[in-house]
Structure formats: C-alpha cells, structure tokens
Amino acid sequence: MDRKPVESRFSMRATAIALAGLLVALAPTLAPSAAVAQAEDNAQKVILVLDASGSMWGQIDGEAKITIARRAIDDLLDTLPASTQLGLTVYGHREKGNCDDIETLVVPGAQPRSAIRQAIAAISPKGKTPLSKAVLLAAEALKYEENKATVILLSDGIETCNYDPCTLGAQLEADGVDFTAHVIGFDVAEPAARAQLQCLAANTGGRFLTADTANELAAALQEVSVAPAPEQIPAPEQKPAMVDAVFEATDGEGGPVIKSGLVWTLTLLETGAKAVDALDIGVLRMPVEPGTYRAEVRRQDGVSAELEATIRTDGNNSFVLPLVLDLPDATLSAAGEAPQGATIPVAWSGPDENQDYIAVAELGAKGGDYINYTYTKTGNPLQLQMPPTPGSYEIRYVMNQDNRILASIPITVSPVEASVSTVSRAPAGSEVIVTWIGPDENRDYIAVAEVSAKGGTYINYTYTERGNPVKLKMPTTPGDYEVRYILNQDNTILARQPISVEQD
C-alpha cells in the first residue's frame, strides 16, 4: 500500500471536543475490519503519547493547553469504540531537564478507562520534550516487531532531546510488522517543529494534523471524522520499494561533517513532492522512493548548497554537500625563520574588521587556537612575538567574527643563542655582575633561583633591559643556586650557570 501522510488544517467552532473528535476520527482507521475482528480474540490496542512538557501550560483562548487536552481525552473515553483498548504514555510530567522522564501510566486493556481519567487529572507539565523516545517506548510496549501497532502522538513542540523523530519513524517502519504513528501538532507554529512531526508521521504512513486554536481543531476533526463505508475502501496497493539514503554536509570541501544547525529540503523532481521540507537535523538519513531528487541544505550562518541526487535500488545512495563560505581575500608577508621568543614584523592585507588579528599557531591548529597574536588595528606591518619553543609554525590572518583563517604562511622558529656568565662563588646577600647573551625581548630577566626550581620561580631577578652586564643580588641563605636567563613569554630558561652562595 502507498501510505501517504495526511495534513489537515481548517477553521473551527469548538474547544475541548476537538481533540476527542480527532482521536475518535482516527479510531475507525485503527479498528480491524468486521471479518478480521471475528477472527481475532484480542481487541485493537493503541497507545496515546501525551506531551506534558512545560510548554503545555501555554494558553489557547485563555485556557491552558493541558486543560484542553484533559477534557478532550475525558470526552474521548465516552465515545471511543469498545474494540479499541487505549493506553496512555506521558513525558515531561515529573521533573525539569530530564530526557528520560517518560512513563506509561496506563497499559492498553490492563486497566479500566477510568484509570486514564485519573492519570491525566494528576499530570502537571514540567520538563523537556523527548517525544521520539516516548513514541519508541510506546511502540516497544505494543511489541511492534511482532504485531500491528499504532501510536497517537499529541505534541505542542519540537524534540528537545538527543533523538531525531524523522529517523525514528523510518526505523519503526522498517522494523515493525505494521507500525503507524498518527501525529497531532497542537498549537505548533515553528516550521522546524512542524517538519519534525510531519516527517515522523510520513515515514510510518500515519496522519499528520495541525491546529493553532481550539476552534480550528474542531472543524478539522469534523472533516476527518467521516470514515468511508466498507465497500468504499480501496483495495490495498503494492507498497513501493523504499531505499535508504544519506545526505551529509561538510564544512568546506573535504572538511568535517556538520552534525547540527542545518535545515534540509528534499524534493522529488518528477512530481515536485517534498520528501522533507525544512527539516532541522544534522545528517539526513531516511528511506525514500527511488528517483531523482534535489537536495538543499542551509546552515545557520546562511551558507547553503544544493545537489541533484539520483536514488537507485542498486547503488550507493550516500551524498555529500560541501558548505563553502565566500571569504574575503587576505595576504601575509614575514621572514621564513625567526629566533624563539623573537618579535618580528608581519605585513598583511585583509578586511581589517573589528578585532581581526594576526596570530602564530601550531600547524593544523583550529582558527581560534594560537600561541601569540596582535590585532590588525595596531598597524601594518605589525609586531608579532614568536613562540618560546623551537619548531615549525604558521602565521595566520584570522577573522575575529568566527575565527576563520583567511591566509597563512609557514615559519620556522629556531633556537636562540643565550648564555649567562658570572662568578662561581659569592657571599650570601652580596651583588654579583652577570654578563648575558639572549634575545632581550620585553621583560626578559636574569634571575637567581634554587637548582630544582621551575622557570618562573626565583629568589631575586633583574630585567635585561637594564643593561649588559647587570647586577644581581644573591640569596641570604648559603647553598647551591643557579643564575639564569629567563624568556618572559612563558618563563622558559634559555641559559643557566651554577653558583655557590657562601656564608660571609
């Protein structure tokens, strides 16, 4: 059978009876035919999955949505055919921020319908919207892999936990004997939320209905409440073969796969029908009919891409759409080699936007990772200090807005010549003369420290900017020490000489 979802939306005349009417309208499609019913010992079992997330306190015409739902379900229990055993699963009703807050309050057929009335009367919406996991648990409770199973989802918003309703629908359809999810979008205005709910229904061959007000919902339910007479029901058609297709977007050509923040549209070119319409998901993975499609993806920053993809029953149906940002031009010019810790001039060209900067970083580091940087606003050329450790690095022009690297050039940082020279012994508390060789960068210093001390730990010090040689005061406690040349950038010890401090 070609199971196509139905989306309905009409102008209205009633309030709480609306939801009950919808469920009653769905009931004829859920109940077995007369012939099948006579052959079955057990009645049809259906689970209603009810959204009890915090947003259900939102109001429609001055009345909370949860109140409308309570009254509508209460009315439903008086009119639902006896052949349908209704169960109730609820999510978001016990605590905030918990994606596992899902509970089957009533098992189909195990308790009287009055148990559902009592359960919904006690519900107080609080938490998140794990609608996908709730539908999955309801399907498992109905043993959907062994039996025909139907779930009716009533939700007023988008999935807020780590699940994808669209992918779940495809999974349940593929694994189930005859699984169907009918979905009611209750006061759902956000396009991404509507697309999620629609895709869940579409992938299971279920109905998708929406309503923005209680009155709208009532008229919609009147429209779907008329079930066709048995002789009018068309003969089942052969269900078309479905093929799994995967669409991914990458950050640039050959870049990493983007896992979130994307909106997908998938259109069958032959008919113009949208298999997916503005679905907010990272990787699009779903079963589709074979054919040629136009895949379109858009990222939150506005960068988009599209691809014509032919889905075949015997081919590789995985497709990649690179998202390439049109970046402004930039150039850099600097020496190819510089001593460790040295400050060198770097000439540049580029957009010079607010807080753009020139940085030196390790090879392969992300745009926002650097060792030293200088803002472009400081001038051209600007002064950039090299890393304190010899090795291979690159100088980059980085856009501050999103840390995009617009240009880069390699540079080798070489070991610098450094030494200290002074007496080998000195009286405690005395001053000694120290001659030094080193880069003399800003706030480099000559220090005396214990032999095992780290570079930034010292007893006395003198800045190299004070001259060469410099005077350095010795510790007042006799013992073995070191005189050191310290690179101020990260307290790297460039040179050292032992000195014995003796009692005067």
Q: Render pLDDT for 186-196 as a digit per residue (tens, 0 to 9).
A: 888 777 778 88
pLDDT of residue 300: 86
Question: 307, 302, 325, 326: which is closest to 317 by C-alpha?
Answer: 307
Residue 22 confidence (pLDDT) above 70: no
**Residues of the chain with pLDDT > 70: what percent?**
84
Sequence ranges of the chain with CATH classification 3.40.50.410? 7-228
375, two tokens: 């803002």
Q: Render pLDDT for 278-330 as a digit per residue (tens, 0 to 9).
A: 777 788 888 788 999 999 999 988 889 999 999 998 888 999 999 987 788 99
CATH of 419-502 given 3.40.640.10, 2.60.40.1930, 1.10.287.3510, 2.60.40.10: 2.60.40.1930
pTM exceeding 0.85 = no
**Region 236-244: what's the mean pLDDT?**
62
Distances (CA, A) of 20 to 17, 41, 151, 322: 5, 27, 15, 47
Q: What is the CATH number of domain 7-228?
A: 3.40.50.410
> What class does CATH assign to 243-323?
mainly beta
Sequence ranges of the chain with CATH classification 2.60.40.1930? 419-502
Count of positions (residues) in the chain:
504
pLDDT of residue 219: 45
Cα–Cα–Cα angle for 246, 252, 253, rounded to 5 degrees = 75
Q: Render pLDDT for 58-80 as a digit per residue (tens, 0 to 9).
A: 888 888 888 887 877 777 677 66
pLDDT confidence of 40, banded at 50, 70, 90?
very low
What is the C-alpha to C-alpha distance for residues 288 and 291, in angstroms, rounded to an integer?
Answer: 9
Q: Render pLDDT for 285-297 as a digit per residue (tens, 0 to 9).
A: 887 889 999 999 9
Helix pair 191-202, 165-175: axis angle to 10 deg: 0
177 and 144 Cβ atoms separated by less than 8 Å: yes
Q: Render pLDDT for 448-458 as a digit per residue (tens, 0 to 9).
A: 999 999 999 99
267 and 247 Cβ atoms separated by less than 8 Å: no
Q: For the purposes of burial, counting CB atoms within 10 Å of the CB of 384, is it exposed (0-12), middle (13-18) or buried (19 or more)?
A: buried
pLDDT: which is higher, 158 or 23 = 158
Sequence ranges of the chain with CATH classification 2.60.40.1120? 243-323
pLDDT of residue 317: 92
CA atoms within 13 A on the CB side of 44: 24
Question: 26, 27, 70: which is closest to 51 by C-alpha?
Answer: 70
Distances (CA, A) of 220 to 65, 172, 273, 480: 17, 27, 23, 91
Sequence ranges of the chain with CATH classification 2.60.40.10? 331-414
**Region 36-47: what's the mean pLDDT?**
57
pLDDT of residue 3: 47
Does 331-414 carry CATH code 2.102.10.10? Answer: no
**Residues of the chain with pLDDT > 90: what percent?**
41
Question: 394, 398, 352: which is closest to 377 by C-alpha?
Answer: 352
Using alpha carbons only, how large is the chain's radius of gyration in Å? 36
